[in-house]
Amino acid sequence: MADYGTYNFPDHLSGATMNERTFTFTSHPSGNLSKVELKTSRGETLKSGSAITITDAVNWVFKINAQVINWGKGNRTHGITTTSSNGVVKTFIRGTMNII
């Protein structure tokens, strides 16, 4: 059994604004959420502090901000990795993205 969830983003048109998405982790390491990073199989990255906002660190709630995505066309896989205030790094979500 996998210890992560799956989130497959809907198809997205390159150069268009991707809508905001909010995530809440109800099962997580101890400590507060201190960092979030989305990495794709093609090397694209979205990070907390710019493209991702931690909205409630105590309850592990964050959002991927609405933003223009200018990535090359094609399918890619992604992982959303978190870091707790205690230094625990974990990938909670994996899935796919297709840029058209």
Interacting residues of 57 by C-beta distance below 8 A, sequence separation 6+: 32, 33, 34, 85
- Which residues face 53 on adjacent strands? 63
Domain enclosing residue 85, as ranges: 5-99
Nearest to 29 by CA among 81, 80, 84: 84
Please report, for the domain that includes residue 34, its CATH number. Answer: 2.60.40.10
- Which residues face 24 on adjacent strands? 61
What are 34-71's pLDDT values in tens digits? 999 999 999 999 999 999 999 999 999 999 999 999 99
Domain count of the fold of the chain: 1
Q: Report d(CA 100, CA 91) in Å as an integer.
A: 26
Q: Are strands 61-64 and 67-69 parallel, antiparallel or unpaired?
A: unpaired
Residue 1: pLDDT over 50: no
What are 21-31's pLDDT values in tens digits? 999 988 888 89
pTM: 0.90
